[in-house]
Amino acid sequence: MTGFVLYDDATARDFAPFALTRPAGELRAGAALTRERWTRIFGAAATGFVGAPHLRQFAEFDAPPAVESRLAAGTWLVNARCVPRLDVLALAAPEAHEIATLRCGGRVAAVRLTRELAAHDLADGRLALEALAQGPARDIDGWWLDHVWDLVALLPNMLAADATALLPAQPDARGIHVIGAHAVHVAADATIEPYVVADTSAGPIVIERGAHVLAFTRLVGPCVIGAGSSVMGGRLACCSIGPAVKVSGEMSLTIMIGHANKGHDGFVGHSVIGRWANLGAGTITSNLKNSYGEVTLWTPSGVQRTGQQFLGSLIGDHAKTGIGTRLSTGSVIGAAANVFGTRMPPKVVAPFAWGDGEPWETFALDRFLVVAARVMGRRGVTPAADAGAHWARVFAARDGA
C-alpha cells in the first residue's frame, strides 16, 4: 500500500477555532485523533495531509506533513471529517489491493486513487471524494463531523464505543473503587492514589500509561484519561482527556486535545479545549441557556443554530483565560487569545486577541512565540524548527478565521 493522505474539505476548513491552527485529522474526536483511527484501519502511518494553504508548515509530534505537489496513484485519500470506530477491522493486505472505496454511513469516506492527482486540485477543499470513487467498495462503521459542534454532540456515543474498544481482554481496575457494571482498566505504569472512585454505570473507563489520578477524584464513564495526564481531584464525567494534560475540578462531556491545563476549580462542560491551552483558576463555562433553549454558535459562515440544548466553549490552541473568567453558552475563543478581567467576554473572541473586551489589543507574534516556547518547555517539548514560519502564516490568516 502506497499510504494514506487526510483531506480537509471545505466544510472541515470552517471548523473554527481549530481550523486556523491544525488540520482536521489532528482533532481529537472521541478518545483518539482522527488520523490515529485511520492508521488502525490501514495498518500504516499517514504520509501527509491536504488542508488550508496557511497550514502548509504545520508540524506537531508524529503528524504528517502537508502535501504540496502530487499524490501518487494507489494512495488512499481520506476525508478527515469521517471518524471510523476504533474497532473497525483493519484492511488485510489482499483486501487493500482489491477495495477501491470505503463508505461510512452511505457516504464516501476514502478512495484509492487510480491516477496521479495534483494537490492543487484539492487546494480549495471543494472537490468531493465521490467524484473520484470507483471500483469495489467496503462499508465501515463510524461517524461524520458535519459541524464543529459534532465533536461535543457525538462524544457520548463515540467515547462509549472507544473506551470499550480500548479495554484489554482482562481489564485491571487496581486501586479504584468501582461502582457500576462496565469495566475499568488502569495501565500497568499508571498511578492511582487512594480514595479514587469510578462510576461505570453509563460506560467503561480507561486510564492510559503514565497517567496519575490523585485522591478524591470521581471518574464517571465513559471516560478515557490519556497517557501522562494528571487528574488532580474533582469529578470528570464522559470526558476525553488527551496526553500530558493536567485537570482538576468539575468537567463533563469535554474533550481536551492534549498538553493543556485546567489545574484548578471551575466547571467546564460540553466543550473542546485546544492543545497548549491554559484555563486560569475559577474559569467557568456555561453550557445551558437560562431559557433551556437551543444554543447558537458563531462560525466563519455566520451564526448557526446547533440543534443542541447543551454546548459550552470551543477554545483554540494556545488560548488562555485569566482567574475567574466566565464564558457564556456557545463561546468561541480563538487560538492564542488571552482573555482576562472582571467582565464576561463576548461569545466570540478573535485569534490573538488580548484583554477583557472591546477594544481588544493584539497579542504580537514575536511575544506569542516566546510565551509558546515557555509553555511547551514545561512539558519537555521543543517547538518545531519551522514553528515560527507556521505561526506567521496563522497570524496572517487570522482575519479570515
Cell numbers standing for residue 27: 482533532
pLDDT for position 135:
87
d(CA 39, CA 118): 23
Cell numbers standing for residue 218: 470521581
Concatenated DSSP letters for 83-111? EE-TTSPPPPHHHHHH--EEEETTEEEEE
pLDDT for position 11:
98
Cell numbers standing for residue 121: 486540485
Q: Find, among 347, 305, 298, 301, the residue nearest to 326 by Cα.
A: 347
Whether CATH 3.30.2130.30 fits 151-400: no
Task: Indicate the domain borders of the chain.
Answer: 4-145, 151-400
* CB within 8 Å of 25: residues ≥ 6 apart: 6, 8, 33, 34, 35, 38, 46, 49, 63, 78, 80
d(CA 110, CA 130): 9
* CB within 8 Å of 70: residues ≥ 6 apart: 116, 117, 118, 119
Q: Are 56 and 49 in contact (CB under 8 A)?
A: no
d(CA 57, CA 231): 33
pLDDT for position 2:
62
Cell numbers standing for residue 17: 477555532
Angle formed by the axes of helices 387-397 and 365-377, nearest 10°: 130
d(CA 313, CA 134): 40
Is the sign of the CA dihedral 20, 26, 31, 35 positive or negative?
Answer: positive
User: H or E element: which one contains 371?
Assistant: helix 365-377
Single-letter amino acid code for the residue at 268: V
Q: Find, among 81, 90, 207, the residue nearest to 144 by Cα.
A: 81
Q: Alpha-carbon dihedral of residues 214, 215, 216, 220, nearest 10 degrees?
A: 50
Cell numbers standing for residue 18: 481549530
d(CA 314, CA 332): 5
d(CA 112, CA 393): 31
pLDDT for position 94:
67
Tens of pLDDT along the chain (401 residues) come to 567 999 999 999 999 999 999 999 999 999 999 999 999 999 999 999 999 999 999 999 999 999 999 999 999 999 999 999 999 988 876 676 789 999 999 999 999 999 999 999 999 999 999 999 988 999 999 999 999 999 999 999 999 999 999 999 999 999 999 999 999 999 999 999 999 999 999 999 999 999 999 999 999 999 999 999 999 999 999 999 999 999 999 999 999 999 999 999 999 999 999 999 999 999 999 999 999 999 999 999 999 999 999 999 999 999 999 999 999 999 999 999 999 988 899 999 999 999 988 899 999 999 999 999 999 999 999 999 999 999 999 999 998 76
CA–chain centroid gap for 278, Å, is 15
Q: What global pTM score does this model have?
A: 0.96
Q: Find, among 75, 92, 171, 63, the residue nearest to 129 by Cα.
A: 75
Q: Find, among 284, 354, 364, 255, the residue nearest to 15 by Cα.
A: 255
Bridge partners of residue 6, in order along the sequence: 49, 78
180: Cα within 13 Å, side-chain hemisphere: 19
Is the sign of the CA dihedral 352, 356, 361, 366 positive or negative?
Answer: negative
d(CA 42, CA 131): 22
* CB within 8 Å of 26: residues ≥ 6 apart: 33, 34, 35, 58, 60, 63, 257
Cell numbers standing for residue 227: 497517557
